[in-house]
Structure 1
Amino acid sequence: MPPSPRGDEGTSRPPLLEIVIPAYNEERRLPGGLLQLCAKLARMPFPTAVIVVDNNSTDRTAEIVETWPHGPVPVRLVRCDIPGKGAAVRAGLLATSAPFTGFCDADMATDLDAVDVAFGLLLSGERVVIGSRGHRGSLVENRHSKIRELGAFGFRALAGVLVPGVSDTQCGFKFFDGVLAREAASVLRTPGFAFDVELLARCVEDGSEVQEIPVRWHDVPGSRFSPARHTFGIVLELGRIWLRLRAQPRAAAHPAWEPPLDPVGYP
């Protein structure tokens, strides 16, 4: 289904930056998140836009976007029927056309002041800039259980094999050169939780370095991740990514998806 445009009809200049928000049943958190993001982008001295990807939600997520008030920052809807955050981010990135693009979570857990830093680095020539809760300059409010923290430690160790030197592949705040993002998204095959690892690995494979920046990050209630339910699937996903990158470094432009091991993969 084609995207539904929303926004200020008087805005004629194409956006320099487009930000994707993947959303699955986010009717409670999305309005506040959109307000924060649009307010931030409206203060920037160049045109911007927001794309919300409705990932087969059963609540009012799509309706919220379709009825979002016109304003200086256009907000449009893209629908993705393939379950999984990775599938939604892929659909959103492929729907962009701006010179620079990125994605963040609907809960805006990462303080949006980091947008200024990320965009500045992109303008200076960096092609991949990601928020990192593992950066020594980050301020992190974390209410996760010890079991979840242990699982995160194990995940980082495995992800480090695929994306060496990156301390935090999973922070939902990533920005890219637009051409690179669309090229990497076109060959992305991981629909679930571990999609970030494959996306970053594809960028590194292209010859780009990953620049991590410090963030202020606060834990927002509502996570759907469960160590008991998702750990085995995530390890299997990482194994598939490892095999895929070595067996077929550049897959077909529109690859078939792997069966979703984590059908949601949202924070």
Structure 2
Amino acid sequence: MPPSQPGDERASRPPLLEVVVPARNEEQRLPGGLLELCAKLARMPFPTAVIVVDNNSTDRTAEIVKNWPRGAVPIRLLRCAIPGKGAAVRAGLLGTTAPFVGFCDADMATDLDAIDAACGLLLSGERVVIGSRGHAGSHVENRHSKIRELGAFGFRALAGVLVPGVSDTQCGFKFFDGVLARETAALLRTPGFAFDVELLARCVGRGSPVREIAVRWHDKPGSSFSPARHTFGIVLELGRIWLRLRAQSRTPARPAWEPPLDPVGYP
């Protein structure tokens, strides 16, 4: 039997950090994104792992993950039949077991050096650490149209009602205490793009404030979000989140039955 390699020994140990990557028809962007992520996680001073959640892809997304070469950072494939980024992230978080977990987008638009800062804060006792493009120290390269920028401004105003004090709920870079993430993900009922708002609002409601950190963020082509197609659904999602959280505040006891995920996701 050949001697084990350092990467094999590391991969066999339980991860301290697991990173979830939601993916829907990401065969073009996923390989490069996974290369970046694995290279970064392999340099961390503790075992790490990646979970890619295939969200009803019709391309080679799942095949890419299944055939990914074995390395120092194990990659696991999960499937989520419920359409929507929120549903995929929820499934990924519920599939974790590590003490610390997070998620990031397949395009790795957020510079992954921010993982160092996020993990440092988690190790120091913070329970929710998110990248914020609104942070004074962030560097943002944005190619969005004026219409999309206007829509983002309106979204931030509405999200601010649900998560006061958080300048950017939608940056696809969020890290958590693992137990908190799994307990909160189990309560999520928003499958679409506004799921971040419900996730953060529920964390705050459980006594875990949100810590925002500076990031370097570069807008990359290929986003599935379309203002024309998704704005109305997102407004509906925010309204449902507000009603759900308001009802929860009036009824602190958890009901024996919970409604399924709202059917507002990818069209």
Q: 1:51 to 1:252 in 2, by over 3 A?
A: farther
Asked whether the equivalents of residues 17 and 47 of structure 1 are also in contact (C-alpha less than 8 Å), the reply is: yes
Matches within 5 A, 1:14-33: 14-33=14-33
Asked whether the equivalents of residues 100 and 178 of structure 2 are also in contact (C-alpha less than 8 Å), the reply is: yes
Could you say which residue in structure 2 is the equivalent of 1:157? 157
Asked whether the equivalents of residues 187 and 253 of structure 1 are also in contact (C-alpha less than 8 Å), the reply is: no
How many residues of Structure 1 are paired with residues of Structure 2 in the alignment? 258
Output the CA distance in 1 between the equivalents of 2:102 and 2:188.
Answer: 15
Asked whether the equivalents of residues 16 and 48 of structure 2 are also in contact (C-alpha less than 8 Å), the reply is: yes
Asked whether the equivalents of residues 132 and 138 of structure 1 are also in contact (C-alpha less than 8 Å), the reply is: yes
Asked whether the equivalents of residues 86 and 192 of structure 2 are also in contact (C-alpha less than 8 Å), the reply is: yes
Measured after TM superposition, the shift of residue 62 of structure 1 is 0.5
Partner of 1:103: helix, strand, or coil?
Answer: strand
Output the CA distance in 2 between the equivalents of 1:43 and 1:177.
Answer: 21
Q: 1:83 to 1:251 in 2, by over 3 A?
A: farther
Q: 1:261 to 1:92 in 2, by over 3 A?
A: same
Structure 2 residue 119 is matched with structure 1 residue 116: no
**CA deviation string 1:22-65 (max 9, x = no partner):** 00000000000000000001011100000000001000100111
**CA deviation string 1:189-234 (max 9, x = no partner):** 0000100000000100000010000000000001121112111111
Deviates most, 245-254 or 78-87: 245-254
Output the CA distance in 2 between the equivalents of 1:255 and 1:79.
Answer: 22
Partner of 1:129: helix, strand, or coil?
Answer: strand
Q: 1:246 is aligned with what amino acid?
A: R
Which residue of 239, 259, 264 corresponds with 1:261? Answer: 264
Could you say which residue in structure 1 is the equivalent of 2:92? 92
Measured after TM superposition, the shift of residue 13 of structure 1 is 1.4
Q: CA RMSD in A?
A: 1.6
**CA deviation string 1:116-163 (max 9, x = no partner):** 000000000000000000001000000000010000000000000000
Could you say which residue in structure 1 is the equivalent of 2:201? 201
Could you say which residue in structure 1 is the equivalent of 2:179? 179
Could you say which residue in structure 1 is the equivalent of 2:51? 51
Unaligned runs of 5+ residues in structure 2 are 1-6
Could you say which residue in structure 1 is the equivalent of 2:4? none
Partner of 1:131: helix, strand, or coil?
Answer: strand
Identity of aligned residues (%): 82
| TM-score for the superposition, normalised by structure 2 | 0.93
Partner of 2:12: helix, strand, or coil?
Answer: coil
Could you say which residue in structure 2 is the equivalent of 1:221? 221
Partner of 1:176: helix, strand, or coil?
Answer: strand
Runs of 4 or more above 4 Å deviation: 7-10, 249-254
Partner of 2:240: helix, strand, or coil?
Answer: helix
Q: 1:262 to 1:12 in 2, by over 3 A?
A: closer
